[in-house]
Structure 1
Amino acid sequence: MRKKRLTLASTALLTTSFLVVAQADIDGAYDHAEIPRVAGSSIVHFDRSEYDRVSIPTGPYDGDGIESMESLEGEVLSLSYTFDNPNITPLQVKRNYRQALEERGFEVLYAASNDELSGGTGRLFFNNAGLFERGARSCCHFASGNRDIRYLAVRSADGTVLAGIAAFNARRVDGAAVSMTVVTAEEMETAMDHRPLTADEMASGLMEDGRVAVQDILFEHDSAEILPDSADALATISDLMQERADLHLLVVGHTDNTGSYDYNVQLSMARATSVMDHLTNQHGISGDRLQAAGAGMMAPITTNLTEEGRSRNRRVELVQMAQ
């Protein structure tokens, strides 16, 4: 795919970077069509989800959480870039993105830097924004010293593209690094190769295999927050447990293999705990009949090399426990 680049054109900014040929992007990576890269940069991390719901921070981290968020559903691209020229700064990169995107009609929803973002010169924002676990952290950790982070949240004029872009000093990276998450709105494909399980089908799976995979419990992107579309599946589990008062279940969260081992184990455990808490608090199932566990990426049911495979591997399984 042809690469589009922004230009560090201002006399206040460096131009020597364009005399250096950027190193090759990682295989299969490409820029978002509406958000071109800054010249002299290369893609060092790339991940695409065909359809997901992502919340982009539009305010600082206040100690309890991100103050405000803007959400959108659709295709999700997560990208990280580094530069050949070690003298390019996060401020230069932010200004170039802002100027170029405003010229394309994008609205700046939030722009801030360093202590404006959070304590720790922006470190707490970086760690809690929910955007960088699968992007920057796999290639470019936020610097432990000499910290500098510049952040933009932008939305296209027609509202179909939403992005969070961070330019920052990174450990073991000379010069600036960039990490961004871009959501492009689109309708979800409604044709599915499975239908929701009934309580009887769940019971049969538990009897025959000792476990059953529930594909219809859905979560926010990189979060343990259960989406409203999960209500029917959770109600069916509740019906099953009310029909069988002797049933005790291990609720096991599973993820795809995107991100680190520790991150996925923690996320899968948090999601399993959310399901257990929902059944207890919303459906009145006794807590001593449920136990949460997180398997992370350890037990895929299909390949993680395709988005379809990764979506199937992101699931909740019910495992029958002895009384």
Structure 2
Amino acid sequence: MIPNRRKFVHTAVSLAAAALLAFTAQRAAAADKAGCRDFDGMMRFQNSAIALCDSRNFAEYTLPTGKITGFDSHTNEAEIEAKQDLEGRLTQLLYTVPKGASSAEVFRSYKDYLPSAGYRVLYEAKGPAFGVSQGSFFESMGPGGQIVGYSPDQSRYLAAVKEDGAAKTYIALYIVEYDDGYNPMVTVEKGQVVVRLDAIQTGELKNGMVPVSATEIAKRLDTSGQVILSGILFDFNKSQLKPDSRPALDEIASFLKQDPARKVYLVGHTDNVGGFDSNMQLSQARADAVAADLVTTYGINAARLKGHGAGPLAPIASNVTDEGRAKNRRVELIPQ
């Protein structure tokens, strides 16, 4: 198996037996747009590439759970038979699929996969049954523009939700076979499948951490000279970043790209559990891990980043309680 690929597995059950149908998904294809990556916990259709992406730490989002019957291009407001108005972290991805696959095939693969990832389907529709204004709706509120706005005939749509305690993740999956429309940032041929995947995370995550936004990072550095990077997460006594750290890393990278002259220190801190020397080494390794991810995933110049480990030497809370120790285990951003 090629190391940088994962399997997308779904099961078709017959009266005789269950047959496994697999297709691959890539973590970071060479053709992916720089700075774009799959939504955590979600696979992609085989050999597809991320053409465009967008993310916001907090956004309002209308999730269609019924037919889209009208659209006002002046106000960008849609008439929808059933919907959910959501607020939370929004990730939007536009994938292009190599020619040969149909929208029906790609849609079926996603639909078969989603239950294994913990998602429950809320609504699905195809072609005209999803409404005459479906293309206008998706064109107006996310990456792709006319590429997803002018090709409704072979479209497929699905809304789903995954519940994790008080937190919920909603998925809006819109798949078309490109017919018409122009976007200077996307090259696609007639009949080629394009996938728009929107993910909205609402409620409180299990760890209770909310990443600091790019705007807030800039503000805090200017006002207090230091930012505690909530949402940078590691397993106990390890320096490998957990997948749940991605939203926070997205915001740090966004801040650094908005201010390309800025150089920063990434400072790792620990609680006082364990030996002093091991905590110093661990804090250094964690700071270096954040710096390395910003370089490899987002293309930030390594010369702008310097990791430093402070270990248990700068607590912000008492190490007597679990709550205090949790606060002391952190990574901070400080201007150079």
Q: What is the TM-score with the length of structure 2 in the denominator?
A: 0.47
- Structure 1 or 2: larger strand share? 2
Q: What is the TM-score with the length of structure 1 in the denominator?
A: 0.49
